Chains A and B, each alone.
Chain A
Amino acid sequence: MISLSSTPSHSPSVVYRKINGEYLLIPLTGNIADMDSLYRLTETGAFIWELIDGERDISEITAKIVEEFDVEPEIAEKDALEFFREIQEFLHFREP
């Protein structure tokens, strides 16, 4: 279960590339049948992606979002958790 105390890190099974402030995520797979999607992170998603370092937990990442954007902490928290759930296949999570 992903929570504010989870610490995300990038999965080695994804290749990513920054293009014009956005990120393109290319999932690595061993079967042609699984090769059906690429993902694009918007600028806000890219901001969070770059904060993922295997050290910060989600609450610390949320604090950075609040620092950078004009957003209420509760909304940033909710949105960040939603974001991490959405891209969890590209991440590993370490629990405290």
Chain B
Amino acid sequence: MTVDLVIAGRRIRLHSREGVEIRPDERFSAFTAPAEMPFAAHRDILPETVPDTLPQEGQSLTGTGMLSEDQCHPGTGMFPKDQCHTGTGISPEDQCHTGAGMSPEDQCHTSAGMSPEDQCHTGAGMSSRSTGTFSERVTGEDHDLDADMVVDADLVADADLVVEVEPGPGEIPASAEKVFDAQLMEEVPGGVINSGEPFWEIFSGGGVTYARVFLKEPERRALLEMPNGEKRWRIFTGEVTGAPEDVGVTADLYNDRSGLAPDNFISPPVTGPPQVDAGVRVTTDSCNDGSGLAPDNFIASHLPDPSQDDAGTDYQTAGTIAEAPITVNPLPYPLDGLLFYFLFSRTGDIMIHGSGVSCQGRGWLFTGRSGSGKTTLARIFDRAGDRVIHDDRLVLCRSEDGWMMHNTPVYRNDEPRSAPLDHLWIIRHGSANVSEPVTGAEAVAMILANSIQQNWDRVAAARLAAAADDLVSSVRVSRLSFLPDGTIREYLRLRKEEEISIAASAAGALLSAGKNITVTAGGYSMWPAIRPGDKVEIAPFVEGAAAAGRIVALRRDGGFVLHRITRVMTVSGRRVIVTSGDAAARADEPAGAGMIAGIVHSVTRSGRLITPPRRRWPRWMNRITAAVAGWVRG
């Protein structure tokens, strides 16, 4: 059967062979789309090749298409030929299960009338097996290979990703190496702690990335299999049926380098429709595919017990399996998040922890560490009648009209929501509503720190940095500390550029008339000399007052920015002033005295007049602590 999900504008087609019913849990109800729905937003997934030089400023990895001729199997478009040779791309499960009921030795050699090795070398063998596994339309007894290929192409045609859904734990080939380990991170007051409990692991080998997930209730393992650069993946959902004593597997065979016992084979049966009750004993000889490797997928325990079937049943037809259907949840938590992460990572999008709202036509995304107030802000905007896109996890995608934010299924009542993204706020609780623009590398770092990332893969890490760089070039980014009451909404709503300009022009007029003005500081760029909330008295600027060390009010972006003069130079007879925020890592662009509206006369904090301290010595490097929460349970 086929179930189409549309997440963040991308169509994910879940597909199963006959006898396996895909039933996503209720989080996905509103994200399920009719398969025949036209779909225009198709985009290619980026290639998984490591560029010689990583993308630099102004460059990004561009999609060159996924299913290139030389990558794909000519007969089916499914598995790269090369992968068949190494035994990693072709699954012995496929080889074996159509022949259930025969001795293991026979299975591989008879199911398609040729040896597995032959199958790898020819399109015919692959297609023959694919028919039973991947096609629903071909149910008759006369298999037509050409027709199968058409079916296969149709399946992929209008989807961004096709995921074959299988029960069972799946198998990771011994040649694959573990590249990433994620323990269950638990959210506690004030942060996130590592429970040390295995949650998911990533393996890589033979051009395939594997994500193994440790699931609970019932305890089992699921596997996401992602051939690099392909739009056809597989999920083994972890459901294991059949009595454990029927499964002849030894720890030696379970060669996954994890050092873990194959405890998934004794998992309790899952709920669902009638389950078949036998496993198939497989030995290393049974699926000798010539690769020299142990069989990858020796578990065929969801197959019917041959002893209970009528004699003469054709095990090569899918119809046999359909007699004992099994229902699987294709995307149990956290497998859903991992699949989305890998998909959106490959498409060059950004998955980020945050709250997204659409307030009077403006799209705002609030991101920050756990406990910084994302949910609080979503609630404030929700109560005010604004549209909350999501309060936990969003996908940011670049479209022709700019960056968009989309939700993904997280809660039971979620429904697809999207909005253009105008401003990204890095939030924290504070004693006042104050914001300060952040740009360049600092802004990119802050976005990455709050994005979902797995920094084992340099291509993915570079691509995410490139995407964030692109984002900050068109979406404004600011730090925002806020009061957890309704005033923040008003603060942001009224913070229109025009109004700031009016205030600035009024202040500018006063300064021009020789009067001092007092403003309330609203940013961190001069920390610790000037802090948010400080009352700053600004006097009119006179040319001779420009000296290194003085803090001045600069005209910028229709408002004022308080920065310190670091250098006064004469270039070609013209006076040039270099300024910088004390807390900023780099200096402003040098400019003439005309940019200075006034000079800071005094700073008052909590009613006390203070002397701003001298500028700190510049630092080489700033460390930005990331809030990499992964997928926090709850």
Q: Which residues of A contact B (CB under 8 A)?
A: 12, 15-24, 26-33, 35-45, 48, 79, 82-83, 86-87
Contacts and interface: CB of A to CB of B under 8 A. Distances in A.
Contacts of B626: 35-38
Contacts of B143: none
List the 3 closest pairs (A to B, CB-CB), nearest first.
A20-B440, A22-B441, A19-B441
A24 B441 contact: yes
A32 B194 CA distance: 9
Nearest to A24: B441
B547 to A, nearest CB: 19
By secondary structure, the B interface counts as mixed
B621 A41 contact: yes
B458 A18 contact: no
A40 B621 contact: yes
**Best-surrounded residue of B183, B449, B621, B624 (most CB of chain A within 10 A):** B621
Given A19-B440, A30-B456, A44-B620, A35 B628 contact: yes
Contact of A33 (B54, B194, B456, B624): B194
Contact of B618 (A16, A17, A42, A86): A42
B466 interface: yes
Nearest to A26: B461
Contacts of B585: 22, 40, 42-43
Interface in B424-453: 439-442, 444-445, 448-449, 453
B454 to A, nearest CB: 8
Interface in B171-188: 178-183, 185
Interface in B160-214: 178-183, 185, 194
Contacts of A33: 183, 194
Contacts of A83: 620-621
Interface of B: 54-57, 178-183, 185, 194, 439-442, 444-445, 448-449, 453-458, 461-462, 465-466, 469, 585-586, 618-626, 628, 630
Contacts of B183: 32-33
Contacts of A24: 441, 444-445, 448, 465
B449 to A, nearest CB: 6
Contacts of A39: 621-624
Contacts of A79: 620
Given A15-B461, A17-B57, A37 B623 contact: yes
A72 B126 CA distance: 71
A24 B620 CA distance: 12
Nearest to A41: B621
Contacts of B448: 24, 26, 38
Contacts of B623: 37-40
Contacts of A20: 57, 439-441, 586
Contacts of B625: 36-37
B458 A28 contact: yes
Contacts of B618: 42, 44
A19 B469 contact: yes
B215 to A, nearest CB: 18
Nearest to A20: B440
Contacts of A43: 585-586
Contacts of B455: 15, 26-29, 35
A26 B440 CA distance: 15
Contacts of A37: 623-626
Nearest to A31: B181
Contact of A32 (B182, B442, B624): B182
Nearest to A48: B620
Contact of B458 (A15, A19, A86): A15
A26 B445 CA distance: 9
Contacts of A28: 455-458, 461
A13 to B, nearest CB: 9
B627 to A, nearest CB: 9
B373 to A, nearest CB: 21
B267 to A, nearest CB: 25
B56 A32 contact: no
A43 B458 CA distance: 24
A72 B207 CA distance: 52
Nearest to A21: B586
A28 B54 CA distance: 14
B57 to A, nearest CB: 5
Given A22-B441, A23-B441, A44-B620, A36 B628 contact: yes
A64 B252 CA distance: 58
A79 B621 CA distance: 12
A24 B442 CA distance: 8
B180 A87 contact: no
B194 A87 contact: no
A79 B56 CA distance: 27
Given A18-B57, A22-B586, A32 B461 contact: no
A17 B56 contact: yes
A28 B460 CA distance: 11
A42 B617 CA distance: 13
A75 B624 CA distance: 27
Given A15-B455, A19-B57, 19 more contacts: A17-B465, A19-B440, A21-B586, A22-B585, A28-B455, A31-B182, A32-B194, A32-B454, A36-B628, A37-B624, A37-B626, A38-B448, A38-B449, A42-B621, A43-B585, A44-B618, A45-B621, A83-B621, A86-B620
8 contacts: A16-B54, A23-B441, A26-B462, A29-B456, A32-B185, A39-B621, A40-B624, A42-B622
A79 B620 CA distance: 9
Contact of B179 (A17, A30, A38, A86): A30
A23 B449 CA distance: 15
A36 to B, nearest CB: 6
A23 B444 CA distance: 10
Contacts of B624: 37-40
Given A42-B622, A87-B621, A26 B465 contact: yes
Contacts of A82: 620
A41 B187 CA distance: 31
B129 to A, nearest CB: 35
